[in-house]
Amino acid sequence: MYNSKITGLGYYVPENVVTNNDLTQWMDTNDEWIQERTGIKERRWIDPKTGDNTSNMGAKAARIAIERAGLTKDDIDFIIFATLSPDMYFPGGGVRVQDLLDMPTIGALDVRNQCSGFIYSLSVADQFIKTGMYKNVLVIGSENHSGGLERSTRGRGVTVIFGDGAGAAVLSRSEAQGKGILSSHLHSEGKHAKELALEGPSTGRWVPEIIKENDPNDVSYYPHMNGQFVFKHAVVRFSEAIIEGLQTNNLQATDIDMLIPHQANLRISQFVQKKFGLSDDKVHNNIMKYGNTTAASVIIALTEAWELGKIKGNDLVVLAAFGSGFTWGSVIIRW
C-alpha cells in the first residue's frame, strides 16, 4: 500500500475587504459586538465586478498548488471539490475547474460536507492514492458566501461570520514510510441537521414558490444557525476527533506540532487549544482576517501556516473540523 503526502498548497481570497464597521451600513452591529462573539475583525467578500465565483477562485488556488507541487495540470489524475456554495445547483464546481484549467478528461467529484468538506475530501483523496488508483489528486475547498447572506439585522448572527475564499492541495503518492497522512476520522449526526442549514431553495422549496408566497418573515432561503447549540456541540466533537486521531497513532497531545482547526469561531479554537494544553505557536488561526470560509477554511489556514514557516519537515500536523450536518472529522499528518 502506498502513502499519500501533500506536495503542493495554495489559496486565493478576494481583494475586497469588509470590516466589521462596514457591516453597520446593513445591520445594527458594531466591531466590539462581533469581535467579542467570534474573534472576527474583517472578512473578504467577492466584488461582483471582478467576476470571481466559487469555481474560478478554486481554480486560482489550484494553479498555485500544482505549481508548488512541481507538477503540471496534465499530471493531475483526479479532482475533488468541496463547497456548499456552487456556482449552480448543478453541475458542481469540480467539472468547472477541470475546464478552467484545461485539464484532460479526468474525473471530478464534488463533496457537500460544508465546514468539514475539506477534511472529508482529503480523506477520500488519501484512499484513492493508498489503493494505487491515482498518483496525484487535486483537492479544493472554495466558498462564495457573500452572494447568499441576509444583509440585515435579522440575519447578522450568520452574516457577520462568513467570508469568501478558496484553497487547494495536491496529494501525491509516496513510498516513504511513516510520512504523509497517517489517518483520517469522519463522523456525522444528522438529527441536528436543521440547527445550521439552508433549507431553500431546494427540491422541496424552489425559489418561485418563495417569491409567490412573498412572506417577509420566511428566512428559510437564507442560512440560519442556532449559534449556542452549534458551539456546545463543536467544542465536544472537535476534541473527540482529535483524541481519536492521536490514539489511533499512539500519540499524545504533546506530540502535536501544529493544529489547524476549522475557522468557525475563534472562541471554539481557543477552547480546544486550552483543552489540549497547546501553546500559541502550535495553533494557527486566521478567522480574524478571513471569517469562516467553511470548506475553504482549513486549507487556507494550512497553506498560510506553511507559508509562514510554522510547519516543517517531520512535524505532526493535526487538521480538525466541525460543521453543518452535523459532520466532523480529523486528519493526522506527519509532514
Which residue numbers are catalytic? 115, 262, 292
- Whole-number CA gyration radius for the chain: 19
Distance CA 48, CA 146 (A): 10
Distance CA 186, CA 75 (A): 29
Which grid cell is 71?
507538477
DSSP codes, 284-335: ---HHHH-B-GGGHHHHHHHHHHHTT---TT-EEEEEEEETTTEEEEEEEE-
Adjacency order of strands within the sheet including 136-143: 3-12, 165-174, 136-143, 78-82, 107-111
For residue 139, list its beta bridge partners: 80, 169
Torsion over CA of 112, 55, 129 and 261, rounded to 10 degrees?
-60
Strands (E), 90-244: 107-111, 136-143, 165-174, 180-188, 196-197, 224-225
Whose CA is closest to 314, among 180, 185, 183?
180
Asked whether the beta carbons of 265 and 291 are under 8 A apart, the reply is no
Q: Exposed, middle or buried, 73 (CB in 10 Å: 0-12/13-18/19+)? A: middle
**Which residue type occupies 20?**
N
Whose CA is closest to 295, among 255, 258, 322?
322
Asked whether the beta carbons of 141 and 321 are under 8 A apart, the reply is no
